[in-house]
A and B are shown apart, each in its own frame.
Chain A
């Protein structure tokens, strides 16, 4: 202790001044910006003016104390500057409280012993925080305390202040590290009662070692000892009186009432309650219902604390064996401490902590999920803005909450059960506007479940909204259903892999159930797409999103190993094929090419006996594919779409009927040159390329199209059209499956 005391060189206080200067400059900048900010805070003009005045006057005062211009031991009566600045600090403190940045300067000044005790006392008494007290300022104040520059009265006053504002200090880790210093002060007669109180507030289990026996059981020491005894009964052998009386003197001092007044004033002034404390505890607005826990509960309180205090079994009180979740910051830490981790007292807090989500993901404890699910289910039910009538004003809050859920689910790659139930319950009442993006993202994480009746719970309410809402809503629903499909497919792949060894038997039944559920989704999207295209007159944007969906559908067999191949309905197929837009047509060519690749692979697997899962796509599927491919080749290549198309909803028409339309060259109006989506390219091609009479023109044109980035068209033509000879363009046919 003594060594420490001496090691405090005179230089150190000087460094403090420098530090506080830089701190101050930061604060000064903030101070200048503040008045502008307060405009946004809906404060009245008067308030604003007052604020900026006060701000301006506190600035030079702090500057005055920080720069150390004050002469040593200058008398208050003689220095008008000191009088003025001290008065400013006092009035600002009483009216609005001091900003966190002010504490370092003022504490250092008051405890450095440079000024007379009357000034120091007044400074200390005006230390009324308006929000928090920064830990750094307290730590440096304690270091001033150790160099004993100030009188014992000031020391005591400082300790009383410290006890009063203890809960307002933003962090306490470094302060706890100074435990030994405080313990040393126990020897000082005058300070002892207050030091006891400070120690009482600081003590944790590991501090028990510093216990020494003190004679003369004064009540404040008794209190401290009783705490030690509670934490480490093996180290305290004396018996303490069972009945606890007032241990510590009232240390409130002049501050408590002032702090209260300032808090009260702050609450009144701001329409939204300001956060008073940093750290994990968020302030609770008085207006909100206490049991509505929309805010994610703060983690912390170790359960073993509870058991320890209950005194059931001291062995259970083993904080050092548990790694506190608050300290968990990095992934390596998680790996190192994975066996010593304890979930936070409120499971809801894991949602915002990715590391705990990791940990939750690998735990097998059912109760962990139950705790989270109960909380989540209740919160969603109670806080849903369109299910509960009075909740209208909290939409933003609810949206943020859903956003957190979306992120957590995305992180877990898994939907949470309460979210699913929430969707089923709330979708029928949803207006399609409120929290749209979040709700649709939640939809895409609905788990794949074969036995569940999706139609009435999900598809029906969704379809109702879909048909009656805007184009953009339709597109976002399609997007979200695409993700749902992808999530299901990914999920079943992972689970199929992990399940194949153990339970092949039960798998077969459930697997076909899963395939049916996926098929049901694809048929649903086909149905709503058909209707939507009619409603929106084949809007290009809508088609784009529909094709995005089918891009996943066409590759299910090859990419996700699920025996499922569903062609788009004619209501989707023909609008794309005959549409005006080359991008969608190109994309669709690619999709048809992938359908072909999947069918070819399936056919090959049918022939090889190696394949474990014996299945075939039905001949209907092949037939449908062939009908489509005939129509496509007719439209894009052979110019005979009106003759060859065999699809019942297709283009086939009598020549007689076609003649009636009055279109002259109807035969050639659908091929790669005259197709409405391609004609732009054809015109450009003719403008750019010198017309060559030879048959190579056709190939040139194709090369030109490929060079324009029509990759889908390329793979389609190369795979599905067999050209008899490269030189002859007229003789070409389509390859059927």
Chain B
């Protein structure tokens, strides 16, 4: 599937905080406009909680909810839902003056494991990605939780999953001059935090991966372990530090970068769907 340039522009090169979301109850993509209206009222109410809400006042936050029909893996997946909050500038009332302050989207790429277990009343969009102030994420998330009886939880990425990402993304073909692959390790149990950054030339990493991977298009845990072990032993030879005793906290590659706290940045439009597939899998395993 190819994403149109408008969608990719929205998603690329932004830091997205990851959340897992349990299936939405009685959500209907036919009512997105009405949802946007309700959500904007909710945001207004939430901002001046405890005091009377000014009814009918021009709200300074505009909410737009739309669907991203191309953003899915299979036909069983629901279309992704995009929520955007924009601030109307006080000075001019022109519509063009709106400034996007927060965006978030729900998506599912090959999330059959989840959707096959639930009835038609539920909409499965297990991954939620948010960019913008946490306070907006909180309000929007609370509203969805309240209206569609679902639960949001931060989706942390384990070191094991990060090493998978490192291996997978190394093998991806990227046309332009790719930036270096970088792995960040954190040394545990120190009074002050110490991070070790390990940068590898993408060609070298790819050459190594090619010797490890047995069948193209297929990755096993064993191969990922071998790949990481090779990187570790190389590092040990030069610096006498066992990286296997530290914690992998961040992986940056040409395709995307991911942090163990649950933050992701997409860098290549043609791999967005693939990265999302892995994230969907992680989210589902957190939900079930």
Contact = CB atoms under 8 A, between A and B. Distances in A.
Interface of A: 163-168, 197, 200-201, 223, 244-248, 250-252, 256, 259-260, 263, 276-277, 289-291, 293, 297, 301, 303, 306, 309-312, 345-347, 366-367, 370-371, 374-375, 377-379, 381-382
A673 B142 CA distance: 73
A223 B141 contact: no
B186 to A, nearest CB: 14
A346 B51 contact: no
B4 interface: no
A367 B119 contact: yes
B149 interface: yes
A367 B52 contact: no
B23 interface: yes
Given A346-B149, A370-B119, A374-B23, A168 B50 contact: yes
B25 interface: yes
Contacts of A252: 51-52
Contacts of B288: 377
Given A291-B151, A345-B149, A374-B151, A306 B38 contact: yes
Contacts of A346: 145-146, 149
Nearest to B23: A374
B173 interface: no
Contact of B151 (A250, A301, A367, A375): A375
8 contacts: A244-B56, A246-B56, A259-B51, A260-B51, A291-B19, A291-B153, A311-B34, A374-B22
Contact of B146 (A245, A301, A366): A301
A306 B147 contact: yes
Looking at B23, B52, B55, the one whose CB has the most chain A CB atoms below 10 A away is: B52
Contacts of B146: 297, 301, 345-346
B214 interface: no
B196 to A, nearest CB: 22
A163 B52 contact: yes
A267 to B, nearest CB: 12
B201 interface: no
A367 B54 contact: no
A301 B38 CA distance: 13
Given A290-B141, A367-B119, A370-B119, A378 B153 contact: yes
Interface string B118-155: 11011000000000000001100110011101111110
Given A346-B149, A367-B119, A370-B118, A164 B31 contact: no
A345 B51 contact: no
B33 to A, nearest CB: 9
A312 B288 CA distance: 33
B117 to A, nearest CB: 8
Given A371-B25, A375-B151, A379-B151, 17 more contacts: A223-B55, A244-B56, A247-B55, A259-B50, A276-B50, A289-B154, A290-B141, A291-B145, A293-B145, A297-B145, A310-B38, A346-B149, A347-B149, A366-B119, A374-B23, A374-B150, A375-B149
A367 B145 contact: no
| 4 interchain residue pairs of minimum CB distance | A290-B138, A310-B34, A247-B56, A374-B22
Interface string B35-56: 1011000000000011111111
Contact of A310 (B31, B122, B150): B31
A280 to B, nearest CB: 12
Interface in B239-288: 286-288
B113 to A, nearest CB: 14
B147 A345 contact: yes
B52 A251 contact: yes
Contacts of B137: 290
A291 B141 CA distance: 7
Nearest to B154: A291
Given A306-B147, A378-B151, A382-B153, A370 B23 contact: yes
B58 interface: yes
B34 A367 contact: no
A378 B22 CA distance: 8
Contacts of B119: 366-367, 370
In which size bucket is the chain B interface?
35 or more
Contacts of B149: 345-347, 371, 375
B234 interface: no
Interface string B6-42: 0000000000000100110110000100110110000
A378 B287 contact: yes
B190 interface: no
A291 B31 CA distance: 24
B51 A167 contact: yes
A303 to B, nearest CB: 7
A246 B38 CA distance: 18
Contacts of A163: 52
B56 to A, nearest CB: 4
B57 interface: yes
A294 to B, nearest CB: 11
Given A347-B149, A378-B151, A223 B56 contact: yes
Contacts of A374: 22-23, 150-151, 287
Contacts of A244: 56
Contact of A250 (B31, B50, B54): B54
Nearest to B31: A310
A371 B25 CA distance: 8
B56 A312 contact: no
A528 to B, nearest CB: 32
Interface in B131-188: 137-138, 141-142, 145-147, 149-154
B38 A309 contact: yes
Nearest to A372: B149
B57 A246 contact: yes
Contacts of B286: 381
A347 B58 CA distance: 34
A311 B30 CA distance: 12
Contacts of A375: 22, 149, 151
Contacts of B151: 291, 293, 374-375, 378-379
A723 to B, nearest CB: 65
Contacts of A164: 51-52
Given A346-B145, A367-B119, A367-B122, A166 B52 contact: yes
Given A259-B50, A374-B287, A312 B141 contact: no
Nearest to B25: A371
Looking at B138, B151, B287, B288, the one whose CB has the most chain A CB atoms below 10 A away is: B151
Looking at A259, A263, A378, A382, the one whose CB has the most chain B CB atoms below 10 A away is: A378
B56 A245 contact: yes
Nearest to B50: A167
A290 B145 CA distance: 11
Contacts of A166: 52
Looking at A163, A165, A367, the one whose CB has the most chain B CB atoms below 10 A away is: A367
A201 B52 contact: yes
A265 B30 CA distance: 45
A247 to B, nearest CB: 4
A165 B51 CA distance: 6
A246 B34 contact: no
Contacts of B145: 291, 293, 297, 346
Looking at A247, A263, A290, the one whose CB has the most chain B CB atoms below 10 A away is: A290
A375 B288 CA distance: 11
B53 to A, nearest CB: 8
Contacts of B22: 374-375, 378
Contacts of A259: 50-51
A377 B137 CA distance: 22
A580 to B, nearest CB: 51
A259 B52 CA distance: 12
A303 B51 CA distance: 25
A277 B150 contact: no
Contact of A312 (B23, B31, B49): B31
Looking at B56, B154, B286, the one whose CB has the most chain A CB atoms below 10 A away is: B56
A427 B16 CA distance: 34
Contacts of B26: 303
Interface string B50-88: 111111111000000000000000000000000000000
